[in-house]
With several copies, the nearest count.
Chain A
Amino acid sequence: MSRRPRLHIPHPPARPGEDPDFSYVEISPAGSVARPDPTARLRDIERSLAFEMIRVLDDNNVATGPWDPLLDPADLQIGLRHMLTTRLFDERMQRMQRQGRISFYMKSLGEEAVSVAQCMALEPSDMLFPSYRNQGLQITRGRNLVDLMCQCLSNSADMCKGRQMPIMYHWARGNIFSISGNLTTQFPQAVGWAMAAAIKGEDDIASAWIGEGASAEADFHHAMTFASVYKPPVILNIVNNQWAISTFQGFAGGENRPFAARGPGYGFPGVRVDGNDFLAVYAVTRWAAERARRGVGATLIEHVTYRADAHSTSDDPSRYRPKEEWKAWPLGDPVERLKNHMIAEGYWSEAEHEALIAELIEHVSECWEEALTYGTMTDGPQLDKNELFEDVFKDMPRHLIDQREQLRALEDD
């Protein structure tokens, strides 16, 4: 039988045991991409925004070019602090998972700039629709780490009342929407939220995040189509961290084109940004927010970054990619890059950095201790079991009252 397979199967750059190879990542020099007016005609700007890479920090850690957001040193310090807090929080929680204190965890190591810089570039009243790898949004918006920890612990102070897995936070007062286990569902929801803002004539905008793998889901297309038709004030972010569990970004269609290029297909800009460059992410987000606030419409942003750790505590990436891949990642570490920039500019020093880390480790530990006072899933104060039946509906219908009674009766036995 003469079989001539010609189905194309994407291949990641390297497998375990092979040398990392990121030559497929096209990188523009810092400062090389023009910054168009947010109202510019798509056809005049689409190509460079979607295909090149917006970068501000150059190889010497100097900010350069038209996208430099010219942030105050104080803001840089805040950004650095939030990124470090995110990282140290992640580290601690992963450790706690290893010790069996929480059931599951997902880190955002290497991607902290995306959440932190974007959140800083938006207004507190803007509505955020995160994925599970955006804990930096919570931290930057000022969420008490204790709240996040209590959620991961499903303890008596859990905002979700024990109903969601760890990291599936939400924060109504902080305008951060609930994280769903189902990928990409938040994308059209964010578009709808923004449509409502426009219908009501309110000024707030929405921003949503998905991974590049999740962009293959139907809801990506739904969000893009509705954004194309109604031009609502929304920012749609694809965090391209190269991996979706074990499959690399080629399995979402990233081999041929940047994900940012999807935007122009639908008639609005897609912007490709160095996701590990705090300043570039900030600047691009401001640009997109301006488009949204001025009623020009939606923007798609592709953040080029790298998932430095495992997908989750259930995953073992050494099975499918080289162990040292992160070291070869050409866009570096967002924390190191911002730190080095600040040091180069004279706003920061190694000593201050060490001190900040020490302070934050201490802070995370204190928060953890406090969180434990609200209990763990097995010890200490517990959620009321009756909560199991609350909030399915606004008012509990008869059949749930009956079921609650059945459970109570059993427990009483």
Chain B
Amino acid sequence: MAQMNMIQALNSAMNLMMARDPDVIIIGQDVGYFGGVFRATDGLQRQYGEHRVIDAPIAEGGIVGSAIGMGVNGLRPIVEIQFADYIYPGYDQLASELAKLRYRTAGDFFSPLTIRTPCGGGIRGGQTHSQSPEGIFTHVAGLKVVMPSNPYDAKGMLITAIEDDDPVIFFEPKRIYNGPFDGDPDKPAVPWSSHPKGEVPEEYYTIPLGRAEITREGSDLTVLCYGTMVHVCEAAAKAAEVDAEIVDLRSMVPLDVDTIRSSVEKTGRCVIAHEATRFSGFGAELAATVQEECFYSLEAPILRVTGWDTPYPHAFEWEYFPGQARLIAAFEKVLEAA
């Protein structure tokens, strides 16, 4: 097996799928000759030609809109939105069109898009290169919404997303493109090669969307998280010496309620973590679901550890980021309770 960082794993998934299926194409800003500002599509235009890896005008709405049309005409477009912060100009085409096309035509038309977009903070990107807007997509019926936390999952899930006939919004936590990150920006960067999930098969494999993974079993409390936060939560549990069960959701829609339920029924306590702002973030749906599904098992209020309800600030990045200290405080509070 090869060692891959997340970018290489994503590149490998796209490369494989383009080789297998001539209908797979890529469109996005700077994705072609240049290979993408994060280099996820590096080399693909050289290999598959400029009719299949297409540099796009700077118009997210136009990229999504035209890709929908391509999908209707039998292609299987992968769209790259350069930063998740710039997905909003495409929101109408995503929410009003892509999400509802199958429904409104009773299945006669659909467009199997995969929308890849780097999200999250921790790279000094300020408020317009750090956002985590997954929540506003999970509210739209008809979209699948996922976020992998490591190279192995990233590749397997991206292949599944590309093959999926439903639209998938594929969020990539850019902070962990190069390595897992425990929430401490002062520590030296860790590469994926030192992490088991940096071992990635060269060949085709899939990971189903809608299945969470328990990355650490534990009995004291359940931590629901995804993306970068999986690693921060693991580190915080370790630092706090808490026997936490860490659930990497991987997929927000569909949501693996079974795994969540059985974990919380076991532990009786639950902390939810994400980088997005707290109010009406995806953690709200998780908390609502958990209390509904596991009410009688819960021994303490479900706590959310999230970005604050402000834009992502440039200077106070680490005050904003829901790091280990905030997680540990929540672990303690939830364990103390009742």
Q: Do chains A and B touch in the complex (CB under 8 A)?
A: yes
Query: What is the interface of chain A, defined by CB distance below 8 A to chain B?
Result: 1, 5, 7, 9, 15, 103-104, 127, 129, 154, 158-166, 168, 170, 172, 177-178, 180-183, 185, 187-197, 199-200, 206, 213-214, 216-219, 221-223, 225-226, 229, 244-247, 251-253, 314-315, 319-320, 377, 383, 385, 387-394, 397-400, 403, 406-407, 409-410, 413
Most B CB within 10 A of own CB, among A103, A253, A383: A103
Query: Do residues A180 and B309 form an inter-chain contact, with CB atoms below 8 A?
Result: no
CA of A215 to CA of B299, assembled, Å: 56
CA of A161 to CA of B37, assembled, Å: 28
Cross-chain contact of A407 among B60, B124, B126, B319 (Cβ < 8 A):
B319
Query: Do residues B329 and A394 form an inter-chain contact, with CB atoms below 8 A?
Result: no
Query: Do residues A217 and B59 form an inter-chain contact, with CB atoms below 8 A?
Result: yes
Interface of B is mostly: loop
CA of A290 to CA of B314, assembled, Å: 40
A15-B33 contact, Cβ under 8 Å, with A164-B314, A172-B105, A392-B141: yes
Cross-chain contact of A195 among B69, B106, B257 (Cβ < 8 A):
B69
B71 CB contacts on chain A under 8 angstroms: 192
A222-B59 contact, Cβ under 8 Å, with A199-B52, A410-B329, A413-B325: yes
Scan residues 294-338 of chain B and give those whose CB is less than 8 A from a CB of chain A: 308-311, 313-316, 319-320, 325-326, 329
A-B contact pairs, 29 of them (CB 8 A): A103-B314, A159-B108, A162-B313, A162-B315, A163-B126, A164-B126, A166-B314, A170-B108, A170-B109, A178-B105, A182-B85, A189-B66, A196-B69, A200-B73, A218-B92, A219-B65, A226-B59, A226-B62, A245-B29, A247-B29, A252-B58, A319-B34, A388-B320, A389-B310, A390-B106, A394-B102, A394-B110, A399-B309, A413-B325
Query: Do residues B68 and A391 form an inter-chain contact, with CB atoms below 8 A?
Result: no
Cross-chain contact of A391 among B22, B61, B107 (Cβ < 8 A):
B107
Most A CB within 10 A of own CB, among B110, B314, B326: B314
CA of A159 to CA of B107, assembled, Å: 10
Min Cβ gap B184→A in Å is 15
A188-B62 contact, Cβ under 8 Å, with A193-B69, A226-B57, A247-B55: yes
Query: Do residues B97 and A182 form an inter-chain contact, with CB atoms below 8 A?
Result: yes
Query: Do residues B70 and A196 form an inter-chain contact, with CB atoms below 8 A?
Result: yes
Query: Do residues A163 and B127 form an inter-chain contact, with CB atoms below 8 A?
Result: yes
CA of A189 to CA of B90, assembled, Å: 13
B29 CB contacts on chain A under 8 angstroms: 244-245, 247
Query: Do residues A188 and B69 form an inter-chain contact, with CB atoms below 8 A?
Result: yes
Scan residues 142-159 of chain B and give those whose CB is less than 8 A from a CB of chain A: 142, 144
Query: Do residues B310 and A192 form an inter-chain contact, with CB atoms below 8 A?
Result: no
Q: Mark B271-304, 1 if CB is under 8 A from A, else 0.
A: 0000000110000000000000000000000000
CA of A161 to CA of B124, assembled, Å: 15
CA of A25 to CA of B164, assembled, Å: 45
A394-B166 contact, Cβ under 8 Å, with A162-B314, A400-B309: yes
A409 CB contacts on chain B under 8 angstroms: 329
Cross-chain contact of B97 among A127, A189, A216, A247 (Cβ < 8 A):
A189
Min Cβ gap A223→B in Å is 7
Nearest B residue (CB) for A228: B57
Cross-chain contact of B58 among A154, A178, A217 (Cβ < 8 A):
A217
A315 CB contacts on chain B under 8 angstroms: 37
B201 within 8 A of A: no
A185 CB contacts on chain B under 8 angstroms: 65, 92-93, 96-97
Query: Do residues B127 and A164 form an inter-chain contact, with CB atoms below 8 A?
Result: yes
Given contacts A192-B68, A391-B106, A403-B309, list 14 more A-B pairs with CB under 8 A: A165-B314, A170-B104, A185-B92, A191-B66, A195-B66, A206-B69, A218-B61, A221-B59, A221-B62, A226-B59, A246-B33, A392-B309, A398-B254, A413-B325
